[in-house]
Amino acid sequence: MSVPVLFFSYFALASIVISLIVITRKNYIHAVLWTLLLFVHISGIYLFLNAEFFAMIQMIVYAGAILVMLIFVIMLLNVKHEDHLSDVSSLSIPKAFLVFCVLGVLAIVLQTSYLNTTGKFSIDLVNKVSDAKLLGQIFYSEANLPLIIMGVVLFVPMIAAIVLAGKRSDE
């Protein structure tokens, strides 16, 4: 087994194990900290797939902004760990087995349906052009209108939050 395959296998297996650790934590702050480690491993997977831009976005957006927001929500709501969440019932093992079966069938269906599909970009073009440059070309040529619509959809709630915050401070 080559070194890149070994590292990729480590990141993939560690991501699965850490995901299970995240959902079994009683303390929500500990779950968020384990989620940070999960995002670092997912970023490592992106790096091995030569998607440097996505690895960077994973670290900045998810590990930076989203996790900070989650910690603020947990601290503001003063959420304590829930004892009833840690109870393992007799139905949890069949439910887990059912979830793994459904995910296995989904993986098989997706693998067989996309096995012989080809994209419009050749391997040589993908290797020549950097990940960020290729995304920029797609965003500003083919996906121009959806990018503008997404910007407006994200801009409207921001303005609404500013207006609502301004009304509260006036009162």
So where are the chain's domains?
Answer: 1-79
Topology, domain 1-79: Four Helix Bundle (Hemerythrin (Met), subunit A) (1.20.120)
Residues in the chain: 171
pLDDT in tens, the chain (171 residues): 788 889 989 999 999 999 999 988 888 889 999 999 999 999 999 988 888 888 888 898 888 888 888 888 888 787 765 555 555 556 677 888 888 899 899 888 887 776 666 666 666 766 676 777 777 777 788 878 887 888 888 888 778 877 877 766 555
What would the DSSP string read from start to end of 90-127? TTHHHHHHHHHHHHHHHHHHHHHHTTT---SS-HHHHH
Look at the pTM and tell me if it is higher than 0.75: no
